[in-house]
Amino acid sequence: MSDINIEDVFAPNRNKLRKVENYYEMDIVDSELDVIKCTFQDEENVYIDTKDYEYILLSYSNLNRLVEALEEASEKYYQETNK
């Protein structure tokens, strides 16, 4: 029997930065297995959509991945504007 990562069930594309129209977004799965959409609309900020939650519980891993994704998005925005 193979191991199943429960986070893969809830969000198979979690932690993957993707381009949507003129911005980047990524889903993360918090410590309570809530799928949270994070939007990188510019080079310096992350909008975390919490409207469906009373609170979110982010792990060190979640926070670290958000910083990495912000750096990735910032680099992509820089490359797009300096072609």
Is 18 part of a structural domain of the chain?
Answer: yes
Is 46 part of a structural domain of the chain?
Answer: yes
Is 31 part of a structural domain of the chain?
Answer: yes
* Number of compact structural domains in the chain: 1
Q: What tens digit of pLDDT does each residue of 8-60 get?
A: 777 778 899 999 999 999 999 999 999 999 999 988 899 999 999 999 999 99
Angle at 19 between CA 55 and CA 7, to 5 degrees: 45
Half-sphere exposure for 49 (CA within 13 Å, toward CB): 14
The identity of residue 74, as a single letter, is S
- Tell me: pLDDT of 61 over 60: yes
Is 1 part of a structural domain of the chain?
Answer: no
Angle at 17 between CA 40 and CA 49, to 5 degrees: 45
- Tell me what pLDDT residue 4 has: 73
User: What domain range is 44 assigned to?
Assistant: 6-81
